C-alpha cells in the first residue's frame, strides 16, 4: 500500500506515565503490521514530530488517534481539541484518559497543595526563593509562557467528545491488538462504547468462591492468602467484583487483589459506588459499632481504595475545595 | 434589602413501608416541620444505591437523608442492614472528600413515628443550615489564574476552524 492511501494514525500522551505506550509496543512484532496498515503521522513517544505537523493536516485527516493521559493543564486541553478536530476516531486509551487513573487522585488536593508539595515540602526540594510556576514571565528576551496547571484533573471525555474507550492501566497488549484489528476491519462497536468485554474480573478469576462473610478487611501485608480461595473471602479488598474484565484476572491469579484498573463494567455511573454496594453486601455484621470498626480499620483510605483509578471520572470528581480557595 | 436566609436543599430517600408512611402521618397529623427535604419514595432503604446519594450531592444537594424501617423490621427481612453498611462506607468516603458527616443522615422511622421523623428532619435542616451551602458544582469550577485568556483563545481558534465536533460532554 502506498503511503498516500494508508490510514493515518496518531498516538498522544498527556498526564500519563508512558505505560500505555509500552503496552502498545508489547504487541511485539505485530507493530510491524500496524506500521504496514497505517501511516504514523504523530506519536511523540516513539518518533519525532511537531504540533505544527498536526496543525497542517486537514480536519478529520487522521483516521484514528489513541489518546492516553488525563487533562492536567491547558496544553493537554489544547492538544485534545486539536487532535479531536483532526481525527475521525478518537480513542480514550488507558485508564488515565478514560477515568483519570492515579494522576486523578491529585483531585483530593487543591492546586496550591500540589504546588506546596512539589515546590516546597518534599525533602529533596531546594527552593529558597519559593519559586512557583508562572503562566507568564517577562524575560529580557521576550515574554515566556507556561501552560496553566488546572485545579482539577479532567478525563478526556470531560474535555472533548470521545468515540471509544479502551480501559486498563495499561490496556493489555492482546486487547490493544483486538481493538486495532477492529478498527482496521471496520468492525467497531457503537460509538461511545468501551472496546472490551462486559463482565467482571471475577468471571475470569479461577479462585473458588463460597459465601462471603467478612468480619475484617485486611491489608496486603497482613495476610498470606491461600492460592485457591476467593481473595475477598480471605478479607482482602479485591475489587474484581466491580471491575470490568479483559485483563485475564492477572493480579488475583498471583494472590494480589484486583485494584480496579479496568474500571467499571457497562452501565455503572460511579465505580466506587458500585464497589461500596458490593462490599456492603459481604460485611458480616448488623451492629453499627462493629460495622464502623470494620470500615474504619479495614479502609483507612476509602477514596484511595474505592476510587484508586476513577476519582476524576466519578460523580464527585474531586474533594471539596476549601472555602475561599481562589488564589 | 434583607439578606435571604440559606435554605438547605436536602434529598430524602424514604422507604415505602415505614419512613414514607411516617412522613405521611406527620402530614395528616399536621405536624409542622422544615420543608427542605425533597422526598423520593423507594420500596426499601436497601434500594438506595450509593450512586443515588453521590449523584444528589454532585447535582448540588446540600444534604441527603436516607430513611428506612428500624433494623429487624424491614419489609424485606434485612435489606436495611445493607443500608447501614453502605451508609458507613459512604460516610467514610464523603468525609475523605471533604463532605461533613451531618450532610448525610441515616434515620430509622416506623410508620407510627411521624413525630420522630419530623423532628429528625428539623434537626438535620438545622445542622446543614449551620454547615452552609455545599453546592458541589462550585467545587468543580476551574479558577486557576491565567486560564480565562487561554480558554478564550482556544475557543476562538476552534470557532475559526469551524470545530466540527461540538462541545464536550459535561
pLDDT digit string, tens, across residues A185-203: 888 889 999 998 889 999 9
Which of A80-84, A130-134, A298-302, A323-327 has the least mean pLDDT? A323-327
User: For strand A71-73 and strand A149-154, is the pairing parallel, antiparallel, or unpaired?
Assistant: antiparallel
Q: Angle at which helices B114-131 and B19-28 pack, to 10 degrees?
A: 100
> Residue A10: how many CB atoms within 10 A of its CB?
25
Q: Is A22:A94 a contact under the CB 8 Å cutoff?
A: no
Half-sphere CA count of B124, side-chain side, radius 13 A: 29
Q: In the predicted model, what is the mean pLDDT of chain A?
A: 93
pLDDT per position as a tens digit, A43-86: 999 899 999 999 999 999 999 999 999 999 999 999 999 999 99
Q: Residue A115 is placed in which grid cell?
A: 504546588
Q: Which of residues 93-132 of A touch B (CB under 8 A)?
A: 108, 111
Q: Is A95:A309 a contact under the CB 8 Å cutoff?
A: yes
pLDDT of residue A327: 37
The share of chain B scoring above pLDDT 70, in percent, equals 85
Chain B contact present for A6, CB below 8 A = no
**A315-324 burial: b if 16+ Cβ within 10 Å, else e:** bbbbbbbeee
pLDDT of residue A4: 58
Q: How far is CA A288 from the centre of its chain?
A: 35
The contacts found for A171-178 with CB under 8 angstroms, 24 or more apart, are A171/A20, A171/A23, A171/A93, A171/A94, A171/A246, A172/A23, A172/A246, A172/A247, A172/A248, A173/A23, A173/A24, A173/A26, A173/A27, A173/A28, A175/A246, A176/A23, A176/A24, A176/A27, A177/A27, A177/A30
The CA distance from A208 to the nearest CA of chain B, in Å, is 24
pLDDT of residue A257: 97
The CA distance from A60 to the nearest CA of chain B, in Å, is 9
Q: Which of residues 143-172 of A touch B (CB under 8 A)?
A: 147-152, 157-161
Q: Which residues of B touch A307 (CB under 8 A)?
A: 93
Identify which has the larger pLDDT, B157 or B39.
B39
pLDDT of residue B170: 38
- State the sign of the Cα–Cα–Cα–Cα dihedral B79, B92, A267, B11: positive
Name the residue with cell 413515628: B113
Kindly list the distances between the CA atom of residue A72 and the CA atoms of A69, A101, A106, A158, A205, in Å, as whole numbers in the listed order.
9, 12, 10, 12, 35
Q: Is A98:A104 a contact under the CB 8 Å cutoff?
A: no
pLDDT per position as a tens digit, A13-30: 999 999 999 999 999 999
pLDDT per position as a tens digit, A261-305: 999 999 999 999 999 999 999 999 999 999 999 999 999 999 999
Contacts of A266 (CB under 8 A, 6+ apart): A193, A194, A198
Strand, helix or coil for residue A25:
helix
Q: Residue B38 is placed in which grid cell?
A: 425533597
The share of chain B scoring above pLDDT 90, in percent, equals 79
pLDDT of residue A183: 86
H or E element in which residue A246 lies: none
Closest in A149, A286, A315 to B54, CB measured: A315
pLDDT of residue B165: 44
**Contact between chains at B49 and A319 (C-beta distance less than 8 A):** no
CA angle (A242 as vertex; A236, A246 as ends), nearest 5: 100
pLDDT per position as a tens digit, B45-104: 999 999 999 999 999 999 999 999 999 999 999 999 999 999 999 999 999 999 999 999
d(CA A295, CA A275): 13
Test mutation, B52, B97, B105, chain A, max A CBs within 10 A? B97
Q: Residue A35 is placed in which grid cell?
A: 506500521
Q: Is A232:A240 a contact under the CB 8 Å cutoff?
A: yes
Q: Residue B148 pLDDT more than 90?
A: no
d(CA A68, CA A45): 11
Amino acid at each position: 500500500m502506498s503511503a498516500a492511501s494508508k490510514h493515518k494514525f496518531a498516538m498522544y500522551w498527556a498526564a500519563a506515565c508512558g505505560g500505555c505506550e509500552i503496552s502498545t509496543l508489547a504487541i511485539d512484532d505485530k507493530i510491524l503490521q500496524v506500521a504496514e496498515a497505517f501511516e504514523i503521522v504523530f506519536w511523540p513517544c516513539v518518533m519525532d514530530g511537531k504540533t505544527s505537523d498536526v496543525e497542517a493536516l486537514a480536519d478529520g485527516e487522521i483516521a484514528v488517534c489513541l489518546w492516553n493521559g488525563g487533562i492536567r493543564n491547558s496544553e493537554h486541553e489544547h492538544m485534545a481539541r486539536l487532535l479531536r478536530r483532526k481525527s475521525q476516531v478518537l480513542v480514550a486509551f488507558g485508564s488515565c484518559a478514560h477515568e483519570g487513573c492515579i494522576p486523578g487522585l491529585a483531585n483530593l488536593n487543591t492546586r496550591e497543595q500540589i504546588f506546596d508539595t512539589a515546590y516546597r515540602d518534599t525533602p529533596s526540594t531546594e527552593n529558597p526563593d519559593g519559586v512557583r510556576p508562572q503562566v507568564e514571565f517577562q524575560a529580557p528576551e521576550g515574554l515566556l509562557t507556561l501552560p496553566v496547571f488546572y485545579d482539577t484533573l479532567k478525563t478526556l471525555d470531560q474535555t472533548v467528545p470521545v468515540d471509544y474507550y479502551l480501559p486498563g492501566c495499561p490496556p493489555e497488549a492482546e486487547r490493544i491488538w483486538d481493538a486495532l484489528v477492529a478498527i482496521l476491519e471496520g468492525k467497531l462497536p457503537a460509538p461511545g462504547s468501551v472496546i472490551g468485554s462486559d463482565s467482571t474480573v471475577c468471571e475470569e478469576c479461577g479462585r473458588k468462591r463460597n459465601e462471603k462473610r467478612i468480619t475484617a478487611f485486611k491489608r496486603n501485608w497482613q495476610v498470606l492468602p491461600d492460592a485457591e480461595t476467593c481473595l475477598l473471602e480471605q478479607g482482602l479488598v479485591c475489587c474484581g467484583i466491580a471491575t470490568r474484565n479483559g485483563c485475564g484476572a492477572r493480579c488475583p491469579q498471583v494472590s494480589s487483589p484486583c485494584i480496579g484498573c479496568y474500571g467499571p463494567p457497562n452501565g455503572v455511573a460511579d465505580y466506587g459506588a458500585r464497589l461500596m454496594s458490593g462490599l456492603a453486601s459481604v460485611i458480616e455484621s448488623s451492629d453499627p459499632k462493629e460495622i464502623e470498626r470494620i470500615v474504619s480499620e479495614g479502609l483507612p483510605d476509602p477514596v484511595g481504595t474505592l476510587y484508586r483509578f476513577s476519582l476524576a471520572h466519578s460523580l464527585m470528581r474531586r474533594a471539596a475545595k476549601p472555602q475561599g480557595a481562589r488564589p | 434589602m434583607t439578606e435571604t436566609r440559606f435554605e438547605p436543599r436536602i434529598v430524602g430517600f424514604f422507604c415505602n413501608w415505614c419512613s414514607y408512611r411516617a412522613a405521611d402521618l406527620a402530614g395528616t397529623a399536621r405536624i409542622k416541620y422544615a420543608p427542605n427535604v425533597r422526598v423520593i419514595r423507594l420500596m426499601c432503604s436497601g434500594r438506595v444505591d450509593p450512586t443515588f446519594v453521590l449523584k444528589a450531592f454532585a447535582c448540588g444537594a446540600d444534604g441527603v437523608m436516607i430513611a428506612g424501617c428500624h433494623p429487624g423490621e424491614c419489609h424485606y427481612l434485612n435489606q436495611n442492614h445493607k443500608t447501614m453498611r453502605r451508609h458507613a462506607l459512604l460516610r467514610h468516603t464523603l468525609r475523605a472528600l471533604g463532605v461533613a458527616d451531618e450532610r448525610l443522615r441515616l434515620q430509622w422511622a416506623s410508620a407510627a413515628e411521624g413525630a420522630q421523623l419530623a423532628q429528625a428532619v428539623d434537626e438535620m435542616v438545622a445542622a446543614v443550615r449551620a454547615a452552609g451551602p455545599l453546592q458541589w458544582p462550585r467545587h468543580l469550577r476551574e479558577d486557576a489564574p491565567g486560564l480565562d485568556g487561554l480558554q478564550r483563545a482556544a475557543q476562538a481558534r476552534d470557532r475559526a476552524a469551524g470545530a466540527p465536533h461540538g462541545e464536550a460532554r459535561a
